[in-house]
Structure 1
Amino acid sequence: MDTVTSTDFSTPCSKNAQIDRFVFLAGWLLALFLLIGLRPAWADAADIEVSQMRVERTEEGLYLSALVRFDLPQLVNDAAVKGIPLYFVAEAELLRERWYWYDRHMTSATRYMRLAYQPLTRRWRLQVAPTPITNSGLGVSLAQSFDELEDALAAVQRISRWKIAEASDVEGDAKHTVNLRFRLDVSQLPRPFQLGLAGRTDWNLATSRNQRLGPETPK
């Protein structure tokens, strides 16, 4: 029996066309994947700002009041409802302005807040302290309970007459600047939970604002 041998023929032109089509398709798919991958980051970026800030100078010291406006991104909200505590930090810094050199650091104050859902009571517990709050319960902190998350967040966002400096820290004849920084502190979250947050912009809740203070008006 005769053996029939078949041979496929291809020209250099057809191979080049196939390669060009493959490169074009691969590039188009890569661009599409990049857009898909980046979109959630844009969509989940939190909108946060210090909408109000007031610094009051009294004989007892310097007091700061502020309102920080933000909504919890969906992933952060879901984690809180499932019992993951949220840690917020407010930092205030007092600087004395100097025309001939960098501004001089006079003093600073920090407020730590821990917000956690209590499944047994179905209430939200907010702790506020001048030092980091741990699960051990050590340290001094003020605690409040709320029925709704919205009410608890309102307490986190509102800073009322927080003493950030003593009267002796403020020089009456100098100009000063008060810097306020507010953030969600992910470093205090459970370690395994932190590993899954890499590249997640929805957990980047941070904002800042400053206010200048002129020399004290003579009485």
Structure 2
Amino acid sequence: MSALGPRAVVFGAGGAIGGALVAELAERRVPEIHALTRAQADILDEADLAQVAARLGADGALDTVIVATGLLHGPGIAPEKALRDLRSDVLAKVFAVNCIGPMLVMKYFLPLLARRRPARLAVLSARVGSVSDNRLGGWYAYRAAKAALNMAVRSAAIETARRAPQAMVLALHPGTVESWLSAPFHGGVPVAQVVSPALAAKNLADVLENAKLEQSGRLLAFDGQEIAP
């Protein structure tokens, strides 16, 4: 059996990275994988999350929960180049998907993690959410939402350690992945650094399997290295 345990849940299974993570968990012989798309579990709908959590929790503790959702661009939404580009509706939407939704998943699913064996909840974050690493500016909404998510992960890790001492809460940076989310922004990235969803999923699963308990609450890159706040 995989080090990721017998019971796993993946939110955002309809996306490139989420779908690849489901396949990777299956490859690693995780016996029970709940692959949840937005239609099955809307992370912005508390009633929806509560219902799914109650259903899955009724069958026992969870070992691995991954939130593979995110929003960088879309109809009428694009990373801002300057303050003049800010719009309140876009800010609200980007924060909702990238921070509020994952926080609500933490609310309902961290209590379901196993208490007496290693377990983990991980959310997809980004290096651009690191304040100390920001040297280019711009991307206000996405950067700020990921920075806020990283802080939420830290707080959740502290709280979770009191209830489940062997459980970890982690933020993960998948790198630049061949996906709809990042496709318009590959121009400035060397081709060799753009990875397939399958390779990204393998890298992230490796990080989850090898993460140490003392790393709970931190942002880890696809190679396992910690990214400074």
TM tier, shorter chain?
under 0.3
Structure with the largest fraction of helix: 2
For the pair shown, which has the larger CA radius of gyration, 1 or 2? 1
TM-score between both structures, scaled by the size of structure 1: 0.25
Structure with the largest fraction of strand: 1
TM-score between both structures, scaled by the size of structure 2: 0.24
